[in-house]
Amino acid sequence: MGEVIVVTSGKGGVGKTTTSANLGAGLASAGSRVCLIDADIGLRNLDVVMGLENRIVYDLVDVTSGNCSFRKALIKDKRFDNLFLMPAAQTKDKTAVNPAQMEALCSEIKDDFDYVLIDCPAGIEQGFRNAIAGADQAVVVTTPEVSAVRDADRIIGLLEKEDLREPKLIVNRMRHQMVKHGDMMSIDDIIEILAIDLLGVVPEDELVVVSTNRGEMVVLNNNSKSGQAYRNIVRRIRGEDVPMMNLEDSGLFDKIRRIIGLK
C-alpha cells in the first residue's frame, strides 16, 4: 500500500504546484508508481505545469460524485508509464468535494501506487481540509520571506491539530547570495523559527520558469541546480540519507568542477 503525501503551504505562489509536479516526476523516474492529485478545484494548474492539459476528459469531481471510476479519470504522463495525474475540476468550486469523499478516494487510490501526492490549494478553508483529509504525511513548502514563513507556521499548527504530525519542510527559491549578505533568512533561521524537520532546499532558478513554460519538469534536467535539489528530495522521500546540497557555488570554478566530474 502506498503513502499519501499532501504538499501544502498556506500562502499562495510559493511553489506548491511546481514542487508537486517535480517530486511526482522525480519519484516516477526513480521507478516508483506515482499518482498526483490536483486538489485545487476551480483553479486547476497541475495539468498545465506537467504539460498534460490537452488530455483531460474526467476530473476529480467526476470521481468523487460517482460519475466515473478513479482509474478512468487518471491521465497517464507522456514521459513515464508509472506517473498519473488526477486533474481538478475547473468549472466547480471547492465545496463540490468534502473531506470524507477525499479520504475515501485516497484510501482507494493508494492501493495501486507507491506514492500519492496531493497538490493542496492555498488557504486554510475547505480546499485545504479536503486536501489533507486522506493524507498520511505532509510536506510544507515555504520561501524565505516573512509572509510565507508566517503562513507555514500556521499551517504546521493546523496539520498537527489534524494529527498529521511531523510535517517536513521544503524551502523554495533560496538565494544564496542574498543570505550571504544578510538580506535573506537562512535555512537555519527558518528552521529555528518553525522548529520542524527539513526535507530539502531548492535554489531560485530561472530554469524552473523555462521548464514550466514548456510543460516540462526541471527535475528531469540534469544540468540544473534546482533539478538536483528536487532529485535529492526524491531520494530522501524514498528513504535514502542524502546530505543537504551546497548552494554556495554557481561560480565559474564550480561549473568547471561539475563538468569534469569532481562534484
**What are the residues binding other proteins (CB under 8 A)?**
145-146, 149-150, 153-154, 157, 179, 181-186, 189, 193, 195
Cβ closer to other proteins: 23 or 155? 155
Nearest by Cα to 204 from 222, 233, 190, 184: 184
Q: Which residues contact 22 (CB under 8 A, 6 or more apart)?
A: 217, 218, 219, 227, 230
Sheet with strand 34-38: strands edge to edge = 75-76, 83-86, 34-38, 115-119, 3-8, 137-142, 168-174, 197-203
Cβ closer to other proteins: 164 or 179? 179
Q: How far is the CB of 178 from other proteins (least distance, A)?
A: 8
For the beta carbon of residue 259, count every other beta carbon within 10 angstroms. Answer: 10
Cell of residue 40, nine digits: 485545487
Cβ closer to other proteins: 180 or 257? 180
Cβ closer to other proteins: 83 or 190? 190
Cα–Cα distance between 96 and 150 in angstroms, integer? 29
Mapped onto helix, strand or coil, the DSSP state of residue 148 is: helix
Q: How far is the CB of 179 from other proteins (least distance, A)?
A: 7
Q: How far is the CB of 120 from other proteins (least distance, A)?
A: 20
Q: How far is the CB of 44 from other proteins (least distance, A)?
A: 30
CB contact at 8 A, 190 and 142: yes
Cα–Cα distance between 164 and 149 in angstroms, integer? 19
Q: How far is the CB of 245 from other proteins (least distance, A)?
A: 20
Q: How far is the CB of 33 from other proteins (least distance, A)?
A: 39
Cβ closer to other proteins: 146 or 260? 146
Cβ closer to other proteins: 10 or 134? 10
Cα–Cα distance between 83 and 23 in angstroms, integer? 11
